[in-house]
A and B are shown apart, each in its own frame.
Chain A
Amino acid sequence: MKVSYYPGCTLKTRAKNLEDSALAAFKALGIEYQELDRWNCCGAVFSLADDDLIHMVAPVRDLVRAKQLGAGTMVTLCSMCYNTLARANELMKHEEVKRKTINDFMNEEPDYFGEVEVVHFLSYLKNQIGWGALKSKVQSPLGGLKIAPYYGCTLLRPKDVAIDHPDSPTLFREFVETLGGEVIEFPSSTVCCGSYQALGNPEAALKVSFDILSDAVSRGADALVLTCPLCDYNLGRRQDDMLRKYEGAKDVPVLYFTQLLAIALGLSQEVCRFELNRSSTARLLKSRNLLAGVKA
């Protein structure tokens, strides 16, 4: 079954580790995909103003491109892109007046009615591949690794695009368990990382992210796994600021769910591109011999 694939801008630069590990996993799992031949930024964030339709144009144009490609399903990896695209898609499906305004404005494109299904790769793994089938492909189970799965906000809110139950999600837990990891549940797993406050109010964002990491570590997590480059920025890259600012701050390995998947599938270390993660990430995996089973 062929799907179209929407990468998102950051995945082509800073988050190459998210994309490369995912594409290798697609291949290993036999997922036929085609990257959109033309695409633009998804809009980066879904505009909440009721009449701010101009900000729907970017995600809708991507959806039109997916429709033109002829694949019914468009898979995304970044949860922020997922959220923006899926919500724009919902709007185009259900809000007739706005849909008409947007279609009229984009008169150079074919009309769009929400025909494409926007799917996050985690959902795709559960619903299209199935945990059983995935498990059968695992070559290097993550035995013993204690992993705190971090959803953040955009996979679960609002309800109509949530990939799982917004208050008590289990999807990420199932994913980690399928790969043979030990799941560390922690209350902050659905708390916002601070998001774009990293630009406007970096101190506030730092505090929120520090609290999330502390929560996970206090419950015994070896590493945090996530789905979004912006979360990775706040929770991963900014740990250097935390280590300077907060007494008792610890260096916590942070990695993308697709990197975890690639390791478990026994894919080459190259596709994981751990050089883009905190150095503690590769150190941890090495110390647990999890890179040993990985093909060189």
Chain B
Amino acid sequence: MSTDAQEVTAGVEAKLIPIYVMGKRYDVPDSLTIMKAIEYAGYKYIRGCGCRGGVCGACATVFRKPGDYKIYTGLACQTVVEPEMYLTQIPFYPANRAVYDFGSLTGRPEEIFALYPELFRCVACNACTKVCPMDVEVLDYISAVKRGDIEAAARISFDCIQCGLCASRCFAEMPQYHIGQLARRLWGAYLTPKAEHLKTMVANIQAGRFSDGLSGLKAMSQDTLKKTYQDREMEPATGGEDWTPKDRQYL
């Protein structure tokens, strides 16, 4: 079976550099991501590894460099190793998540305040933003929630992958990423206009408007079906929203 780490090192003479995984030294090829380096070293992940593509938040990693007081963070699957880095992954960090009946909410900021009163413990220390491996301006979206600007909170928090590093560093002990999630849901469900065309289409389908057309397609011979497919009218790539096809029989 192909192994990712080997693929990366195949064909090139890999330069080995020392890294310290939870304080223990391993020499690994300098071109690997932290995740592949840890696997190269002989670890097998159970926790701390998910999509391997930078969107799931499973592999949040904290590290330091020699002679530097700063805390650095990154996703193990996206961050390339550096010589002498001291690292650990934080696969899990407890965070309070409020339970709510979403259907009974209406999108008022006070609903978030009531579910997450710890919001008002924020002192704007900005540790959340500094630690975010996705460069989300966490403090900014928390500040937006505090002033009731759910739209801004939803927009600013959109790239959050819910790794939990913000909550791990929070002076006010907040679960920022759960608050952002609630803000986005309120925004999506209650504060943006619903799609009217969607309602209409669902109603039309329920009324059976397209049943005959679909039954016809299902009953077609392979050849007729292929021809119908080949002849179908293509919406142009660069057309506007109001384009309409010539054949409107099956709309």
Residues of A within 8 A of B (CB): 7-13, 38-41, 43, 54-55, 57-58, 61, 105-106, 108
Q: Which residues of A contact B125 (CB under 8 A)?
A: 54, 57, 105
Do A40 and B149 have beta carbons less than 8 Å apart? no
Q: Which residues of B contact A41 (CB under 8 A)?
A: 122, 124, 143, 146-147
Do A38 and B124 have beta carbons less than 8 Å apart? no
Do A108 and B130 have beta carbons less than 8 Å apart? yes
CA distance A7 to B122 in the complex (A): 18
Do B109 and A13 have beta carbons less than 8 Å apart? yes
Residue of B nearest to A13 (CB): B148
**Interface residue total, chain B, C-beta cutoff 8 A:** 18
Q: Which residues of B contact A13 (CB under 8 A)?
A: 109, 147-148
Known: A13-B109, A40-B140. A57 touches B148 (CB 8 A): no
Q: Which residues of A contact B186 (CB under 8 A)?
A: none
Known: A9-B146, A12-B148, A13-B109. A43 touches B130 (CB 8 A): no
Interface residues of B in 119-173 (CB under 8 A from A): 122-126, 129-130, 137, 139-140, 142-143, 146-149, 171
CA distance A106 to B123 in the complex (A): 12
Q: Which 5 A-B pairs have the closest CB atoms?
A: A58-B124, A9-B147, A40-B143, A13-B148, A12-B147
Known: A40-B143, A54-B171. A12 touches B149 (CB 8 A): yes
Do B148 and A43 have beta carbons less than 8 Å apart? no
Instruction: Please give the distance in Å from B53's CB to the nearest CB on chain A.
Output: 28
Residue of B nearest to A106 (CB): B126
Q: Which residues of B contact A55 (CB under 8 A)?
A: 123
The total of Cβ contacts below 8 Å across the A-B interface reads 49
Q: Which residues of A contact B109 (CB under 8 A)?
A: 13
Residue of A nearest to B69 (CB): A107
Do B123 and A57 have beta carbons less than 8 Å apart? yes
Do B147 and A54 have beta carbons less than 8 Å apart? no
Do B124 and A40 have beta carbons less than 8 Å apart? yes
Residue of B nearest to A7 (CB): B147
CA distance A43 to B142 in the complex (A): 14
**In the complex, per-residue mask of B55-99: 1 if CB is within 8 Å of any chain A CB, else 0:** 000000000000000000000000000000000000000000000
List 7 contacting pairs A-B, 8 Å CB cutoff, sorted by A. A8-B147, A40-B122, A40-B142, A41-B143, A57-B125, A108-B126, A108-B130
Known: A40-B140, A41-B143. A54 touches B123 (CB 8 A): yes
CA distance A58 to B122 in the complex (A): 9
Identify whether the interface residues of B are mostly helix, strand, loop, or mixed: loop
Q: Which residues of B contact A38 (CB under 8 A)?
A: 137, 140
Instruction: Please give the distance in Å from B170's CB to the nearest CB on chain A.
Output: 13
CA distance A11 to B125 in the complex (A): 22
Q: Which residues of A contact B129 (CB under 8 A)?
A: 108
Instruction: Please give the distance in Å from B114's CB to the nearest CB on chain A.
Output: 14
Q: Which residues of A contact B147 (CB under 8 A)?
A: 7-13, 41
Instruction: Please give the distance in Å from B43's CB to the nearest CB on chain A.
Output: 32
CA distance A57 to B142 in the complex (A): 15
Q: Which residues of A contact B143 (CB under 8 A)?
A: 9, 39-41
Partner among B124, B126, B149 whose Cβ is within 8 Å of the Cβ of A43: B124
Residue of B nearest to A58 (CB): B124
CA distance A228 to B146 in the complex (A): 18
CA distance A40 to B122 in the complex (A): 10
CA distance A233 to B130 in the complex (A): 36
Known: A13-B109, A40-B143. A57 touches B126 (CB 8 A): yes
Instruction: Please give the distance in Å from B124's CB to the nearest CB on chain A.
Output: 4
Q: Which residues of B contact A105 (CB under 8 A)?
A: 125
Q: Which residues of A contact B122 (CB under 8 A)?
A: 40-41, 58
Q: Which residues of A contact B140 (CB under 8 A)?
A: 38, 40
Q: Which residues of A contact B137 (CB under 8 A)?
A: 38
Q: Which residues of A contact B171 (CB under 8 A)?
A: 54
CA distance A39 to B137 in the complex (A): 11
Residue of B nearest to A39 (CB): B143
Instruction: Please give the distance in Å from B71's CB to the nearest CB on chain A.
Output: 12
CA distance A43 to B146 in the complex (A): 12
CA distance A38 to B126 in the complex (A): 13
The interface centre, meaning the residue of B125, B137, B140 with most chain A CB atoms within 10 A of its CB, is B125
The interface centre, meaning the residue of B124, B149, B171 with most chain A CB atoms within 10 A of its CB, is B124
CA distance A8 to B123 in the complex (A): 14
Do A57 and B149 have beta carbons less than 8 Å apart? no
Known: A38-B140, A39-B143, A54-B171. A9 touches B148 (CB 8 A): yes
CA distance A219 to B129 in the complex (A): 53
Partner among A7, A12, A61 whose Cβ is within 8 Å of the Cβ of B124: A61
Residue of B nearest to A40 (CB): B143
The interface centre, meaning the residue of A7, A12, A54 with most chain B CB atoms within 10 A of its CB, is A12
Residue of A nearest to B119 (CB): A41
CA distance A12 to B110 in the complex (A): 12
Residue of A nearest to B142 (CB): A40
Do A61 and B126 have beta carbons less than 8 Å apart? yes
Instruction: Please give the distance in Å from A59's CB to the nearest CB on chain B.
Output: 8
Other than the given A40-B142, A58-B122, A108-B130, 18 more pairs (CB < 8 A) read: A8-B147, A9-B143, A9-B148, A11-B147, A12-B149, A13-B109, A38-B137, A38-B140, A39-B143, A40-B124, A40-B143, A41-B124, A41-B146, A43-B124, A54-B171, A57-B123, A61-B124, A105-B125
